[in-house]
A and B are shown apart, each in its own frame.
Chain A
């Protein structure tokens, strides 16, 4: 049976939902081995039993968060050479894509990024050019290294009892070229208890039209259990953290519903939200380009429309 490696993505002691998706894609292909890079793996191994995995390899001994993707990629590449899996699946986060890129170079393998589907025959689906074109592609050499966007597959509840192996590595055991860069400090993103942007079913975003006041945007988001996003105009002004930026240089989201409030719909913003299943916009300007994308649009002041909508949603829910 074919072997598949998946890279476990985790933050704050929890495995991301995107990782469960990787396991499900992996299951279509063969036996799934989850690679966990962490010095505190026990809570992660606990969570792993709710995902479709057969084996887990814990790699510990180095604080992997203190480096770029280089050491993780080096160790993954060694494991790929040793075990020859048919595929290595990674979620499309910034660091995940960098691990995939370096592992592709190290193992001389083909790389496909930002897939939204993957068949048992390893045919990947990509949505390119802002969602206007759908491409099917396949890796033809080496291990198929594929990064997958989150929200690409319905996560089903499951239980597993993976066989766990632990590998201890040390800084001295690694090729020095894998340790050339170091993280000195991290100002981590605060989620404020809301769902993660790329995983949320609904995203409510605010732009320059909020004029710095995100209260109505957050209230609407909370009434829908949604994540909060922002345009570059809003992050540049310091109204919302950059880690919430949606667009070309921010996150790419593909939720069931995207609500753009006081956002004009510049091409760079569209690049991050155009593939959302349903799009709603609230904007004062009837000519704003965002309206070209919408399923439903309200031409109006967000400070009037959003609170009314929030109140309506809360009353329907109660």
Chain B
């Protein structure tokens, strides 16, 4: 199985995020691998462990795991983390013209990279922690003409028949879905517990290849991506004043009554 895992570098969840010039100010915050994308990498590793006769991917095994990311050069930090978990190689699409790209442009670029190779399975997180749109996997499936199996809480693949099934866990309940590969699958955090990179993994990752591609390498016209081609524009962004500190009482046997009094005071009841 040839697996691609799409990963995004995002600001650390706890960092205070700000907007600057209609864009997320990424320079001033610590950056990490989007947490759900770690689950996607882990799932790729587990699928290979299940299906490869040697339990591993790489040359001669018929299995490979390629990390794909679009972002600034700094995104190599997040990619290294995925490689140190055990992925084989990576492609970073980095080009100054990509700054300010919307979801349509992001999916266009990712689909161009994925479509140029013959991957069987594309794994994504369901959502990034910064923009939180939760749309890239569906857009990729649409652009690539692949099956869309999103919000997977579990995945199983039968490589002989190219059959893939998932348990899709959403607001409507649990749907068991099936399709033929190739497919785009996005994962939720219930799917597994990501491993910590081992020392050996970290050392090995330093020798793995991160191929950096520009728009011209992909044959994409810079005028079709980036801020000027974004089909939604931010008009203004305002920081909201932080919440005023509330009242905190210690239960002395009347905590529940105090809560009721608060609800009455606020006219909830």
Which residues of chain A have a CB within 8 Å of any CB of chain B? 11, 68-70, 73, 93-95, 97-98, 100-102, 104-106, 108-114, 123, 128-129, 131-142, 177, 180-189, 197-198, 202, 224, 232, 235-236, 241-243, 248-249, 251, 256-257, 267-268, 271, 278-280, 282, 286, 291, 293-301, 304-313, 316-317
Contact = CB atoms under 8 A, between A and B. Distances in A.
A280 B138 contact: no
Contact of B259 (A243, A249, A280): A280
A312 B260 contact: yes
B246 A294 contact: yes
Interface in B188-213: 188-190
A295 B131 CA distance: 27
Contact of B262 (A11, A73, A185, A280): A280
A contact patch SS: mixed
B247 A305 contact: no
B236 A136 contact: yes
Given A68-B177, A312-B256, A316-B269, A93 B134 contact: no
Contacts of A188: 172-173
Contact of B103 (A11, A101, A294, A312): A101
B236 A135 contact: yes
Contacts of B250: 286, 298-300
Query: Most chain-B CB neighbours within 10 Å: which of A113, A251, A256, A282?
Result: A113
B135 A70 contact: no
A180 B138 CA distance: 13
Task: Please give me the 4 A-B residue pairs with the lowest Cβ-Cβ distance, nearest first.
Answer: A308-B256, A300-B251, A110-B231, A312-B260
Most B CB atoms within 10 A — which of A129, A236, A271?
A129
Contact of A98 (B102, B150, B230, B246): B150
B243 interface: yes
A289 B254 CA distance: 23
Contacts of B133: 97, 101, 111, 113-114
25 contacts: A11-B172, A68-B149, A97-B133, A110-B232, A111-B103, A111-B231, A113-B134, A133-B238, A137-B235, A177-B145, A182-B177, A183-B168, A184-B165, A189-B172, A242-B174, A243-B169, A249-B188, A278-B268, A297-B248, A298-B255, A304-B255, A306-B256, A311-B256, A313-B263, A316-B269
Contacts of A177: 145
A292 to B, nearest CB: 8
Nearest to B186: A98
Contacts of A129: 17, 130
A280 B230 CA distance: 40
Contacts of B230: 110, 140
Contacts, number: 274
B183 interface: yes
A114 B133 CA distance: 8
Given A69-B138, A134-B240, A110 B102 contact: yes
Contact of B176 (A69, A131, A185, A235): A185
Interface of B: 13-14, 16-19, 36, 102-104, 107, 126-127, 129-136, 138-139, 141-143, 145-151, 153, 165, 168-180, 183, 188-190, 230-240, 242-243, 246-251, 253-260, 262-264, 266, 268-269
Given A111-B232, A136-B235, A299-B250, A187 B177 contact: no
Contacts of A140: 230-233
Contacts of B232: 110-112, 137-140
Contacts of B126: 249
A105 B146 CA distance: 14
Contacts of B177: 68, 181-184
Contact of B255 (A111, A282, A295, A311): A282
Contact of B178 (A181, A248, A249, A294): A181
A185 B175 contact: yes
A45 B256 CA distance: 45
